[in-house]
Chains A and B, each alone.
Chain A
Amino acid sequence: MKIGLEMHFQLPTRSKLFCSCPTSSAEPNHNVCPVCLGYPGSRPSLNRKALEAGLGIARFLDCKIEEKVWFNRKTYFYPDLPKNFQITQYESPLGTNGHFDLNGRRIGIWRVHLEEDPGRIRRVGRSGEEIAFVDYNRSGIPLVEIVTAPDLTSPEEAREFIDQLVTELRSLCGLEAQDEQSFRVDANISLGEERVEVKNVQGLRNLERALKFEASRQSKLLAAGKKVVRETRRFDEERKVTSSAREKETEEDYGYIGEPDLGEFRIGEMARNLDLKETPLVRARRLVSSFGIGEATAKQLVLTSVTLTDLFEELCRHVPPEKAVSWTTGPISSNWAVLQDPGKWPEIVQIVKDDSDGRINDNEAKRRILSLAGVQQEAAVEGGDDMTKLISDFVDSHPEVLADYRKNPKAANMVIGHVMKESKGRYSSKEVVEEVRKEMDKRV
């Protein structure tokens, strides 16, 4: 099975791609101006932030980036498209020939380009008496389109691919969490010779459903010795089936020409100078190779929180990685809301270091971490009293040990052994030794 995806993500800019209208939500047709309404005489000027974000994505996906790019007019008539052409990039995308590593497998990225979003049509009223309203707030919102090679092999993998990609892009350029409805994807899927395009699927869940339906439809056709027709299909969210869109078999002719109002953009320098953030999954791979920790653990860390991972790396400078893992994934992450305050980090590092060096035992370290987090743990407090009580109970009932101790300090070993046994390893040996000596010395 071969699946290729064309994904559209909204870039996180404050203003639209070609005008200064805000991208925030508003009453219908409030975030509009002559430019995004396509009024005669208005013209576009490119939002630099959108270009930077798009280039960042192209570079992150290891695309080839040309020195100069330009935009194109894609002409088609539709009521949500104010100019009846969309400004997009056709022969000159921001990046080509990149890849994304999905669980160690290379998924080819054919192209990354910028384009403007059309408006949104809302239909109200009963079928047959529908009224269509057009809201142009979305018109001109900057989108990045990412097209993959048909390298994905199952609907589940397609879903996981997008899931991981979104995780990475969110951290890379602050891409908003794509809710189910705002996310749009076109998917190509082929089991045999001919590919079928499922267009305009909304949301990840629907994508997986649509692909599963198509996979089974195509495999049934092939099993019955029939041919899969090359066509465009639509996914019906209610019935969870795809159906032929009954469009022309040949590709629609959009009559692309250059967008003369924008001219050419020299982007080579800009792309090279971008400072790319290390994304979570890339970081996870680095943690695995630098610290030898498990892949699952590394992913858990980076997906929990960037700063938690920062703390993990800081701990690794002082203690063995396995110690750092058990503390960060254990008591520290369960109290992360409080402990994420960097002001508390030096103390955390000290506690974990003391634990690792054996200066305090695990329980004491845990008690200190929890108290730093403001958690009052009864057990931990009782445990503290417990040792003194164990010592005094034993010494009181065995006066001969105290007598021996006066002559030979090694007699304390009996007490130590008893406490270690009774406390079942709640305290480190060092702690027990110190406490026992202290109690015995008091009595001598």
Chain B
Amino acid sequence: MSAIYDLIRYAQLKHRAFTEIVEDLDDTKFHFSAKDNLCADGFQARAGSAVLDGYRPPFDATPIRKMKDSGGQLVGKTTMDEFGFGTFSTNSAHGVPLNPFDLERSCGGSSGGAGAAACLIPGHIALGVSTGGSISGPASFCGVVGLTPTYGRVSRYGLIDYGNSLDKVGLLSRSSSLVAKHFRTISGPDPKDPTSCAQPVLADRGKMPRSLAVPKEALQNLDPAVRSSFQDALSRFKELGTEVHEVSMPSLRFALPAYYILATSEASTNLARYCGMRFGRREEELNQHFNDFFTGVRSESFGDEAKRRILLGTFCRMVGFRSRYYLKSLAVRQLLIEEYQKVFRDHDAVVTPTMPFIAPRFEEIGRMKTLEMYGADVLTVPPNLTGMPHISVPCAYVKGLPVGMQLVADHWKELDLLEAASAWEKAFIYRFPEVSP
């Protein structure tokens, strides 16, 4: 068991996967980690932000409580982009996680630490959170399985909000069987999160998808190596007896702007509460007007990306812009749901690469413009915007680095995705880096 603890420490020290870890492992329990935006008794919950430094929540998030109730030990909190704002986990106040395959490269984001932990520690299950692709992205770059359930499948009680209508708690691990097992553990209605109470009961098992749809719009602007390895993966799927058809989903191109408008609109209201009054960091002089005090705390503690998204979201909510941006984006979300459901009349899942490229080097990320970074989410945003379940599995290795493939199913059909992932694992062997702590 101490070998596992050594791996956890290694993941923390060498790859900065964890912000905090336990001092001792309980050998009688299974071990799981949680992204730092999930509240847990006994740990700080800082969601990658300095504004929450020192904040110890007085309660467990529902998914964490359920994991503990089923015999799990929370071994640590994983690093992330501040409040989930990022694609590479570089917007973190508590260390940027480093890719398990190459320390010079990103783990993806925003659940980057979760991706690294899932990859580095065999048998480990990591709770991640996705708003616009924060589980699929790290799963792809770190070469693990990442399941993002349907919106409303897993209670968000105790999840520090980014965009409440988009946030989903999910799982990352080396194998789909572990993901499938604990997906059952954390699912189910919770009166403390009314949006989790409309879900249908989980079936005993899913149906293997027979027909996969590949939207041709999703194959534009891909790294050529990713594109060709994705085509190879499709051939392999056909060998498994699955049909693959090209379809057209013209509304996909509206997903990215609609997502960033909705997500930042909600985020800018969620972040209003961080003002140094009731929790978190407070270094400002108290003897001043509350407005100056709040501004001081917020200016000092929020990172650049958080400030950018607050400004963006506040702008989109303003009188005069609200109907042009916020309300229109709500309509786009509905349009896109309908477009997916039209495809699901003839097909069981939509499949694309997960990310348009393999894990980039930090120096490449440093040269990216903000819009290029947002553009990296182009394939993960659509299912997130529509609240549809999706899973990312490794489907190839390019220059020794994993390439991810993402399958999307209709609402509540997570089990079908897990069937597909399980079948895929029998045909394609995943690789993990050799580590010697």
A-B CB pair tally, cutoff 8 Å: 102
Is A166 on the interface with B (CB-CB < 8 A)? Answer: no
Write the nearest CB–CB distance from A56 to chain B, whole angstroms: 22
Is A428 on the interface with B (CB-CB < 8 A)? Answer: no
**Cβ–Cβ < 8 Å partners of A40 in chain B:** 39, 45, 47, 52, 55, 57, 160-161, 273, 279
Docked pose: A43 CA to B160 CA in angstroms: 10
Docked pose: A263 CA to B273 CA in angstroms: 21
The contact string, 1 if C-beta is below 8 Å from chain B, for chain A 258-286, is 10111100000000000000000000000
**Cβ–Cβ < 8 Å partners of A12 in chain B:** none
Write the nearest CB–CB distance from B324 to chain A, whole angstroms: 14
Tell me which of B114-122, B233-241, B311-319 binds A.
B311-319
- Minimum CB distance partner of B155 in chain A: A43
Would you call B195 and A263 a contact (CB within 8 A)? yes
Partner of A41 from the list B61, B163, B265, B322 (CB cut-off 8 Å) is B61
Tell me which of B24-32, B90-98, B186-194 binds A.
B186-194
Would you call B278 and A82 a contact (CB within 8 A)? yes
Would you call B59 and A257 a contact (CB within 8 A)? no
Docked pose: A38 CA to B39 CA in angstroms: 14
Docked pose: A260 CA to B45 CA in angstroms: 22
Docked pose: A257 CA to B317 CA in angstroms: 7
The contact string, 1 if C-beta is below 8 Å from chain B, for chain A 221-256, is 000000000000000000000000000000101011
**Cβ–Cβ < 8 Å partners of B164 in chain A:** 43, 260-261
Is A133 on the interface with B (CB-CB < 8 A)? Answer: no
With A34-B58, A39-B57, A257-B326 known to touch, is A263 a contact of B194 (CB < 8 Å)?
yes
**Cβ–Cβ < 8 Å partners of A45 in chain B:** 191-194
**Cβ–Cβ < 8 Å partners of A92 in chain B:** none
Tell me which of A70-78, A394-402, A433-441 binds B.
A70-78
**Cβ–Cβ < 8 Å partners of B279 in chain A:** 39-40
Would you call A253 and B160 a contact (CB within 8 A)? no
Would you call A85 and B157 a contact (CB within 8 A)? no
Would you call B272 and A85 a contact (CB within 8 A)? yes
Would you call A84 and B272 a contact (CB within 8 A)? yes
Is B75 on the interface with A (CB-CB < 8 A)? Answer: no
Would you call B272 and A75 a contact (CB within 8 A)? yes
Is A79 on the interface with B (CB-CB < 8 A)? Answer: yes
Write the nearest CB–CB distance from B398 to chain A, whole angstroms: 38
Would you call B160 and A41 a contact (CB within 8 A)? yes
With A75-B272, A77-B294 known to touch, is A256 a contact of B194 (CB < 8 Å)?
no
- Minimum CB distance partner of B61 in chain A: A41
The contact string, 1 if C-beta is below 8 Å from chain A, for chain B 125-166, is 000000000000000000000000000000011111101110
Docked pose: A289 CA to B47 CA in angstroms: 67
Would you call B191 and A257 a contact (CB within 8 A)? no
Partner of A261 from the list B191, B193, B278 (CB cut-off 8 Å) is B193
Docked pose: A43 CA to B163 CA in angstroms: 13
Would you call B156 and A77 a contact (CB within 8 A)? no
Is A111 on the interface with B (CB-CB < 8 A)? Answer: no
Is A403 on the interface with B (CB-CB < 8 A)? Answer: no
Is B275 on the interface with A (CB-CB < 8 A)? Answer: yes
Write the nearest CB–CB distance from A106 to chain B, whole angstroms: 32
Write the nearest CB–CB distance from A318 to chain B, whole angstroms: 53
Is A99 on the interface with B (CB-CB < 8 A)? Answer: no
| Residues of A contacting B: mostly | loop
Docked pose: A41 CA to B60 CA in angstroms: 10
- Minimum CB distance partner of A91 in chain B: B327
Would you call B275 and A43 a contact (CB within 8 A)? no
Docked pose: A38 CA to B161 CA in angstroms: 11
Q: How large is the interface on B (under 10, 10 to 19, 20 to 34, 35 or more residues)?
A: 35 or more
Would you call B277 and A79 a contact (CB within 8 A)? yes
Residues B185-238 near A (CB distance < 8 A): 191-195, 198
Write the nearest CB–CB distance from B62 to chain A, whole angstroms: 10
Write the nearest CB–CB distance from A281 to chain B, whole angstroms: 37
Would you call A257 and B275 a contact (CB within 8 A)? no
**Cβ–Cβ < 8 Å partners of B163 in chain A:** 260
Partner of B269 from the list A42, A44, A257 (CB cut-off 8 Å) is A257
Write the nearest CB–CB distance from B51 to chain A, whole angstroms: 10
**Cβ–Cβ < 8 Å partners of A78 in chain B:** 290
Would you call B269 and A255 a contact (CB within 8 A)? yes
Write the nearest CB–CB distance from A39 to chain B, whole angstroms: 7
Docked pose: A374 CA to B171 CA in angstroms: 77
Write the nearest CB–CB distance from B214 to chain A, whole angstroms: 31
Would you call A83 and B272 a contact (CB within 8 A)? yes
Residues B262-307 near A (CB distance < 8 A): 265-266, 268-269, 272-273, 275, 277-279, 290-291, 294
Docked pose: A260 CA to B267 CA in angstroms: 11
Would you call B318 and A255 a contact (CB within 8 A)? yes
**Cβ–Cβ < 8 Å partners of B45 in chain A:** 40-41
Docked pose: A77 CA to B295 CA in angstroms: 10
With A37-B278, A40-B47, A41-B160 known to touch, is A83 a contact of B273 (CB < 8 Å)?
yes
Partner of A46 from the list B194, B265, B273 (CB cut-off 8 Å) is B194
Docked pose: A241 CA to B163 CA in angstroms: 45
**Cβ–Cβ < 8 Å partners of B55 in chain A:** 40
- Minimum CB distance partner of A136 in chain B: B278
The contact string, 1 if C-beta is below 8 Å from chain B, for chain A 42-60, is 1111100000000000000
Write the nearest CB–CB distance from A330 to chain B, whole angstroms: 55
The contact string, 1 if C-beta is below 8 Å from chain B, for chain A 307-331, is 0000000000000000000000000
**Cβ–Cβ < 8 Å partners of A253 in chain B:** 318-319
Candidate in A78, A84, A263 with the most chain B CB atoms within 10 angstroms: A84
Docked pose: A260 CA to B333 CA in angstroms: 14
Docked pose: A42 CA to B317 CA in angstroms: 23
Docked pose: A83 CA to B272 CA in angstroms: 6
- Minimum CB distance partner of A19 in chain B: B192
Partner of A260 from the list B52, B165, B314 (CB cut-off 8 Å) is B165
Would you call B193 and A43 a contact (CB within 8 A)? yes
- Minimum CB distance partner of B83 in chain A: A40
With A253-B319, A255-B269, A260-B164 known to touch, is A41 a contact of B290 (CB < 8 Å)?
no
Docked pose: A263 CA to B39 CA in angstroms: 23
Partner of B266 from the list A39, A251, A260 (CB cut-off 8 Å) is A260
Docked pose: A83 CA to B58 CA in angstroms: 17
Docked pose: A41 CA to B156 CA in angstroms: 8
Would you call A82 and B195 a contact (CB within 8 A)? no
**Cβ–Cβ < 8 Å partners of A39 in chain B:** 57-58, 278-279
Would you call B278 and A262 a contact (CB within 8 A)? no
Write the nearest CB–CB distance from A189 to chain B, whole angstroms: 25
Would you call B272 and A77 a contact (CB within 8 A)? yes
The contact string, 1 if C-beta is below 8 Å from chain A, for chain B 165-177, is 1000000000000
Write the nearest CB–CB distance from A85 to chain B, whole angstroms: 5
Partner of B157 from the list A43, A77, A84, A255 (CB cut-off 8 Å) is A43
With A38-B278, A40-B45, A40-B161 known to touch, is A256 a contact of B195 (CB < 8 Å)?
no
Docked pose: A85 CA to B330 CA in angstroms: 21
Docked pose: A34 CA to B58 CA in angstroms: 8
- 28 A-B contact pairs sorted by A residue (CB < 8 Å): A34-B58, A37-B278, A41-B37, A41-B61, A41-B157, A41-B160, A41-B161, A45-B191, A45-B194, A46-B194, A75-B268, A75-B269, A75-B272, A75-B317, A77-B290, A77-B291, A77-B294, A82-B278, A85-B273, A255-B319, A256-B322, A257-B265, A257-B266, A257-B317, A260-B195, A261-B156, A261-B194, A263-B198
Question: Which 3 pairs, one residue from A and one from B, show the smallest C-beta to C-beta distance?
Answer: A255-B317, A84-B272, A260-B165
Further pairs besides A39-B279, A82-B278, A263-B194: 15, Cβ < 8 Å: A40-B47, A40-B273, A41-B39, A41-B57, A73-B269, A75-B317, A77-B290, A77-B291, A77-B294, A85-B273, A251-B319, A255-B317, A256-B322, A257-B317, A260-B195
